[in-house]
């Protein structure tokens, strides 16, 4: 049944309607349609069909097969280039090649006589990189928000308010006599890349905070991330100090670090500083007037270097992973190629650092984390340590809070690291820092499957949507730059909250897992995340969808329980199981009546079981296919979980 809020994709005769099987988003319009295009799959025959460019996506639908279609959000396009000229030889030599941020390369062949390639190239140049062309990103005119909020309602949606520093402080049980929530950065004047509210030592004055910020790179002074209410140990984070080659000192900064150390009632005698960088990198920064803390200036502090490489090394590693996985992995050299990427070694270094922090804090020692500027490796370490230390962050709500707190509010530069809406695809600032964090979370969930309330689908959804630009969540580089988006866009968490059932793991059992996860760091425990990196491969066969099977079994069990209750009610009405043993008026046992009831009950049970088993399996299969038989979606939005405003669940599509 059509959604009563649905609107046609065009809105006017100038735009073509978006065809099946694609679901249209609120406000999405088709800008270009070309039915003379041929898609060139890397391991299949050419597919003739129609290529469409909308205000949000690039779509291709084959005319040969209704099941063969391609979908790519414009925000996920990394770069595109023309291939061949008008005089190029070969049936498919003239066209466009598109490289995506989700590790695909799509190639389309055009007819040189139609001149459609030029139009496609112009549209992509304008809409793929809106921020480079003065065009708003799609999240700013996506109309899904109108169906969630009233037209005159300027308050943020629920997803934007899921994290509150005051609520987090209360939840963690932070003692107010030792720590305080300060609003000194309410106007972002203290540090433009930090959140408005910070948790700092109660003894530190605002003047102290300003002095410490001046001594730290980018003004990113130490602030509290997590408090262990069991032993009083803390995790704080910051950026590197401005010590330089001569070892410049700042008395206020030294006192501030000392105050953090002494606030630990269990081990006030020492604070461990975890520098995420290799030692040589930290020393090289001294030539730039920066560096790391010396034990002379910071007595009772012990510093450890965690040897996690910088964004440039990680970017090159991901490039190698892409080359290994696309279009198809080499079966004969799989392990050699995987080793050459260095990807798992980098994950091991990150997880090893996080586990070291967990061990220290769990034993009662406070830890201060930083890298260079404190928004890349620092975020990886703090977030992973928190997810292992605190079961709350392993819940669906808690994981959202964790990302909002440690990544978004503390200024991880999503805009630059992901190259969102920016045409400079060779930008040296791009790096898969957040992807590595999500990969590490997946590794933990594989090792501790009962410890996480959310499933793999959530992790992949987050990675896909951070490129899509449909939501305002990951836009720009810091909280300050995103302020205006809070009242004009949807948060990605709005979708997660509306479709919660899609992201819940049926294996979640907090009673069966320890409070603190002690992950044994070893390369043997790490594996390439095939569900993400190999999902476009035609050779990849995903593992059995245990979640879907579990849900189908649950449905069957519920049906059988209802059947059993009905049978029990029937038997009781026939007098079976009564205290008088089912006797008739003469006092004799009425065996015939009892037997009749049992026969009827057995018959009902058998028939019901047959129906229930079949119905349960079919229902589970329908869920996997996206409820195709129940919903019409030609150019229309679909309801989901009663929330017609939200982004609809899309059908599984082939992107081979």
Whole-angstrom distance, CA of residue 392 vs CA of residue 372: 29
301 in catalytic set: no
Q: Tell me the DSSP string of 296-344.
A: TTSTTEEEEE-----HHHHHHHHHHHHHHHSS---GGGHHHHHHHH-HH
Residues in binding site:
285-288, 310-311, 371-377
Whole-angstrom distance, CA of residue 47 vs CA of residue 35: 12
Query: Please, are residues 54 and 8 in contact by the beta-carbon 8 Å criterion?
Result: no
Query: Please, are residues 190 and 208 in contact by the beta-carbon 8 Å criterion?
Result: no
Question: Nearest CA to 36 among 89, 101, 93, 113?
Answer: 113
Q: Give the strand order in the sheet containing 105-109.
A: 69-73, 57-62, 47-54, 30-39, 105-109, 95-100, 77-83
Whole-angstrom distance, CA of residue 367 vs CA of residue 238: 11
CA distances from 511 to 58, 224, 362 (A): 46, 29, 19
Question: Within 10 Å of residue 565's Cβ, how many Cβ atoms?
Answer: 10
Q: Where are the beta strands (DSSP E) in 77-167?
A: 77-83, 95-100, 105-109
Strand 223-227 to strand 234-237: parallel, antiparallel, or no bridges (unpaired)? antiparallel
Exposure class string for 267-292: b at 16+ Cβ within 10 A, else e = beeebbbbbbbbeebbeebbeeebbb
Whole-angstrom distance, CA of residue 325 vs CA of residue 477: 30
Question: Nearest CA to 223 among 202, 201, 254?
Answer: 201
Query: Please, are residues 227 and 234 in contact by the beta-carbon 8 Å criterion?
Result: yes
CA distances from 192 to 213, 411, 478, 480 (A): 11, 9, 8, 7
Q: Tell me the DSSP string of 563-582.
A: HHHHHHHHHHHTTTT-TTTT
Residues in binding site for substrate:
285-288, 310-311, 371-377
**191, 325, 371, 440: the active-site residue:** 371
Query: Please, are residues 148 and 494 in contact by the beta-carbon 8 Å criterion?
Result: yes
Whole-angstrom distance, CA of residue 115 vs CA of residue 550: 52
Catalytic residues: 371
């Amino acid at each position: 049944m059509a959604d009563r809020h649905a609107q046609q994709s065009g809105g006017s005769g100038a735009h073509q309607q978006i065809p099946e099987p694609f679901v249209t988003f609120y406000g999405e319009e088709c800008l270009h349609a070309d039915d003379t295009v041929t898609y060139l799959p890397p391991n299949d025959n050419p597919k003739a069909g129609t290529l469409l460019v909308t205000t949000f996506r690039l779509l291709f639908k084959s005319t040969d097969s209704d099941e063969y279609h391609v979908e790519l959000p414009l925000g996920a396009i990394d770069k595109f280039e023309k291939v061949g000229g008008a005089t190029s030889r070969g049936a498919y030599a003239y066209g466009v090649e598109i490289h995506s941020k989700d590790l695909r390369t799509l190639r389309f062949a055009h007819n040189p006589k139609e001149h459609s390639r030029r139009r496609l190239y112009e549209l992509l140049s304008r809409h793929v990189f809106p921020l480079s062309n003065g065009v708003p990103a799609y999240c700013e005119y996506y109309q899904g928000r109108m169906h969630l909020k009233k037209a005159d309602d300027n308050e943020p949606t629920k997803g934007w308010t899921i994290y509150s520093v005051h609520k987090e402080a209360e939840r963690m049980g932070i003692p107010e006599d030792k720590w305080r929530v300060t609003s000194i950065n309410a106007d972002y004047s203290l540090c433009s890349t930090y959140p408005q509210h910070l948790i700092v030592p109660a003894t530190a004055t605002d003047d102290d905070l300003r002095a410490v910020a001046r001594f730290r790179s980018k003004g990113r002074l130490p602030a509290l991330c997590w408090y262990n209410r069991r032993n009083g140990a803390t995790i704080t984070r910051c950026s590197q100090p401005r010590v330089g080659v001569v070892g410049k000192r700042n008395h206020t900064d030294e006192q501030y670090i000392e105050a953090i150390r002494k606030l630990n009632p269990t081990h006030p005698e020492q604070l461990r500083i975890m520098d995420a960088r290799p030692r040589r990198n930290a020393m090289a920064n001294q030539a730039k007037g920066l560096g790391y803390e010396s034990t002379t200036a910071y007595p009772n502090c012990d510093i450890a270097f965690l040897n996690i490489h910088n964004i440039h090394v990680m970017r090159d590693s991901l490039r190698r992973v892409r080359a290994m996985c696309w279009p198809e992995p080499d079966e004969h050299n799989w392990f050699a190629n995987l080793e050459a990427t260095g990807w798992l070694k980098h994950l091991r270094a990150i997880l090893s650092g996080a586990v070291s922090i967990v061990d220290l804090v769990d034993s009662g020692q406070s830890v201060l984390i930083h890298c260079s500027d404190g928004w890349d490796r620092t975020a990886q370490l703090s977030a992973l340590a928190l997810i292992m230390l605190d079961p709350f962050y392993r819940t669906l709500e808690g994981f959202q809070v964790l990302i909002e707190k440690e990544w978004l509010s503390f200024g991880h530069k999503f805009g630059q690291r992901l190259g969102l809406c920016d045409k400079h695809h060779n930008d040296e600032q791009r790096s898969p820092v957040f992807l590595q964090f999500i990969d590490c979370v997946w590794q933990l969930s594989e090792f501790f499957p009962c410890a996480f309330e959310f499933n793999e689908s959530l992790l992949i959804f987050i990675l896909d949507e951070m490129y899509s630009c449909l939501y305002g969540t990951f836009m720009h580089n810091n909280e300050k730059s995103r302020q205006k988006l809070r009242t004009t866009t949807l948060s990605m968490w709005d979708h997660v909250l509306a479709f919660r059932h899609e992201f819940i793991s049926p294996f979640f059992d907090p009673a069966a897992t320890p409070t603190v996860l002690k992950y044994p760091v070893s390369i043997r425990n790490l594996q390439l995340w095939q569900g993400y990196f190999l999902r476009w491969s035609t050779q990849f066969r995903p593992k059995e969808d245990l979640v879907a099977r579990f849900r189908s079994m649950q449905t069957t069990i519920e049906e059988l329980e209802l059947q059993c209750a009905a049978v029990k009610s029937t038997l009781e009405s026939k007098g079976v199981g009564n205290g008088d043993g089912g006797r008739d008026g003469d006092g004799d046992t009425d065996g015939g009546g009892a037997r009749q009831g049992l026969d009827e009950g057995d018959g009902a049970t058998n028939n019901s079981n047959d129906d229930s088993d079949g119905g349960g399996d079919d229902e589970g299969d329908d869920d996997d296919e996206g409820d195709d038989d129940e919903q019409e979606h030609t150019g229309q939005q679909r309801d989901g979980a009663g929330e017609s405003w939200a982004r609809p669940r899309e059908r599984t599509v082939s992107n081979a």
